[in-house]
Amino acid sequence: EVLLTSERYRVERLPFSRVTHSDVAFFERLMPGRVITDPEELKPFNVDWLKSVRGSSKLVLKPQTTAEVSQVLRYCYERNLAVNPQGGNTGLVGGSVPVFDEIILSTVLMNQIISFDKVSGILVCQAGCVLEKLNDYLEEQHFIMPLDLGAKGSCHIGGNVATNAGGLRLLRYGSLRGTVLGLEVVLADGSTLDCLTSLRKDNTGYDLKQLFIGSEGTLGVITAVSILCPQKPKAVNLAFLGCQSFAKVLETFTTCRAMLGEILSAYEFMDEKCMELVERHLKLSSPVAGSPFYILIETSGSSVIHDEEKLTNFLERAMTSGLVTDGTVATDDKKIKASTWFILISLICQMLWSLRERITEALTHDGYVYKYDISLPVEKLYDLVTDTRAQLGQRAKNVVGYGHLGDGNLHLNITTEAYSHSLLDTIEPFVYEWTARYNGSISAEHGLGFKKKQFIHYSKPSKAVSIMQCFKATLDPKGILNPYKMLPSS
């Protein structure tokens, strides 16, 4: 583990109160059997899943209701006890674990579906619901979640909203800022803000829910979510293609968007280094080989014949014009058709998505990983990867790039045998300066958390940061909610 808290950022503990025996006794009376103080049980809550940051909390609370969250925060506010809200703990920027001894408020038991309207497609649920389980529930009703992530088996919808997670379906269904209709939030002083509307149109005053979407638990604790869910598509097709250059990847995307139109639901890209690591460390085999770049295209629609015809026309154009050199196509309609392309059944769909979704897992097997989630103009997307390789030379084991090209979102990953302060100094702020030079964002979908908060000025002007700090001071005047995260010290 790399203790970035103490070694790199030199953060000093703010003058919050420390947890006492009487505090623990109060919480045990409030939620008997759902208070954790055992050091061994506390360990997984104190460390992020990348094992890059670690806190020293002595107390984890597991409320089941909004009323309990309200009582916890009211008590902590009066006692000046710092609180670290935690969902599935799948974040990449150290935002979900304590920096010091903050009380961990886990939403793991807040996992109830409150309602679902089959006519409107509006789901209302508690914040601790696991994304994959929500999607499984909705599929039985012939709907799906508008959000899909590699961490779907662990992440909580409340954490997704709190970080404004992007994911694989954003190209088709948009961001959570558009699909979340309402929120229930408990504020720092324990008061509850009930904006859990199920209306698609509500133009009465400021849209307060937007303050909390992407606020990373620094303004309030999200306890329930109302979200608009699309119907489950009747026809899903995947194409896994090889391209000889990133220019071809971009040109293929332009052609793809023009020819597939409304049925295009995902356009992912990855470089050959990613595929090498997935094959080496996870023993997954790619049906397409020998290309410097690979793209994964998904279409989702309501007509099998219509969608397959559009996809076939696009593939013929892409092949005959030399945009792609090889490829595999999979459909989920349980049929195998004769073609110069390989038409595969639904299990292959899952395998093709695994090649993309498990890149993060493969990287963790390659050594220590420096991870960067960048948003850039699409034509500059891969230039950052090549320039970073040149910047680091032999000091890096691998420098790879993959991501959501349709959204201009690059995941830049650098692996080495072990963590190095000097190497991190070479990477940062180089990556952020490069990103700012081309008017990009240093965080496309994972937030700022603990690791990136001091770099916010590369993406936001000082006035904007100042206004954010004003919001924080207004909603959390004592600063007890997820301190040391997202915003630089005022």
Q: What is the pLDDT of residues 134-161, one digit of tens each?
A: 999 999 999 999 999 888 999 999 999 9
Q: Is the pLDDT of residue 242 over 70?
A: yes
Q: Looking at 340-344, 408-412, 429-433, which range is the least confident one?
A: 340-344
CATH 3.30.70.2740, applies to 367-459: yes
Fold of 113-228: 3.30.465
Contact status, residue 19 vs residue 81, Cβ threshold 8 Å: yes
**Structure tokens given for 375:** 């948003």
Supply the pLDDT for residue 490: 62
**For range 414-424, the mean pLDDT:** 92
Angle CA 464–468–474, to nearest 5 = 145
> What whole-number distance in Å separates Cα of residue 322 and Cα of residue 125?
48
Residue 332: per-residue pLDDT = 56
CA gap 232, 103 in Å, rounded: 40
> What residue ranges do the domains of the chain occupy?
5-109, 113-228, 235-364, 367-459
What is the rounded CA–CA span in Å between residue 294 and residue 320?
Answer: 18
Q: pLDDT value at position 331?
A: 64
Query: Is 90 exceeded by the pLDDT of residue 340?
Result: no
DSSP-derived pairing of the beta strands 83-86 and 122-126: unpaired
Across the range 216-237, mean pLDDT stands at: 95
**Both tokens assigned to 287:** 């049906």
Q: How far apart are the first and last CA of the chain?
A: 29
Distance between CA atoms of 486 and 96, rounded to whole angstroms? 11
| Whole-number Å distance between alpha carbons of 302 and 264 | 12
Return the CA Rg of the chain. Answer: 23
pLDDT of residue 3: 47
Which pLDDT tens digit goes with each residue over 180-206? 999 999 999 999 999 998 888 888 899
Assigned token pair, 469: 């700090």
SS3 letters across the chain: CCCHHHHCCCCCCCCCCCCCHHHHHHHHHHCCCCEECCHHHHHHHHECCCCCCECCCCCEECCCCHHHHHHHHHHHHHHCCCEEEECCCCCCCCCCCCCCCCEEEECCCCCCEEEEECCCCEEEEECCCEHHHHHHHHHHCCECCCCCCCCCCCCEHHHHHHCCCCCCCHHHHCCHHHHEEEEEEECCCCCEEEECCCCCCCCCCCCCHHHHCCCCCCCCEEEEEEEECCECCCEEEEEEEEECCHHHHHHHHHHHHHHHHHHEEEEEEEEHHHHHHHHHHHCCCCCCCCCCEEEEEEEEECCHHHHHHHHHHHHHHHHHCCCCCEEEEEECCCCCCCCCCCEECHHHHHHHHHHHHCHHHHHHCCCEEEEEEEECCHHHCCHHHHHHHHHHHHHCCEEEEEEEHHHCEEEEEEEECCCCHHHHHHHCCHHHHHHHHCCCECCCCCCCCCCCHHHHHHCCCHHHHHHHHHHHHHHCCCCCECCCCCCCCC
Among the residue ranges 7-11, 94-98, 337-341, 461-465, the one predicted with the least confidence is 337-341
Contact of 102 with 82, CB cutoff 8 Å: yes
**CA-closest candidate to residue 212, choices 228, 230, 192:** 192
Mean pLDDT (whole number) for 407-418: 93
The per-residue pLDDT for 335 is 39
Most confident of 295-299, 403-407, 431-435: 431-435
Q: What is the CATH number of domain 5-109?
A: 3.30.43.10
- Taking residues 3-21, what's their average pLDDT? 78
Question: Mean pLDDT over residues 386-400, rounded?
Answer: 95
What is residue 49's predicted lDDT score, i.e. its pLDDT?
Answer: 85
> CA-CA distance, 172 to 378, in Å (whole number)?
17
CATH of segment(s) 235-364: 3.30.70.2190
With left for phi above 0 and alpha for psi between -120 and 50, is residue 372 left, alpha or beta? beta
Which class for 181: exposed (0-12), middle (13-18), buried (19 or more C-beta within 10 A)?
A: buried
How does strand 264-271 pair with strand 192-195?
unpaired
Indicate if the pLDDT at residue 6 is higher than 70.
no
Distance (Å) of CA 26 to CA 31, 76, 81: 9, 11, 13
Confirm if 244 and 329 have CB atoms less than 8 A apart: no
Please say if the pLDDT value at position 353 is more than 70.
yes
Least confident of 152-156, 161-165, 302-306, 484-488: 302-306
Is 223 within 8 Å of 184 (Cβ atoms)?
Answer: yes
Per DSSP bridges, beta strands 192-195 and 221-228 are unpaired
Tally of CA atoms within 13 A in the half-sphere of 69 that contains its CB:
30
Mean pLDDT of 257-262: 93
Q: What are phi and psi of 169, to 5 degrees?
A: -105, 5
Q: Which residue has the tokens 């700012």?
A: 436
Distances (CA, A) of 474 to 78, 211, 468: 16, 12, 10
Specify the pLDDT at position 208.
95
Task: Note the pLDDT of residue 412.
Answer: 96
113-228 and 367-459, same CATH topology: no
One-letter amino acid at 278 equals: V
CA distance 411 to 398: 13
In this prediction, residue 341 carries a pLDDT of: 38
Mean per-residue pLDDT for 320-333? 79
pLDDT at 349: 64
Q: What is the mean predicted confidence (pLDDT) over 403-429?
A: 92
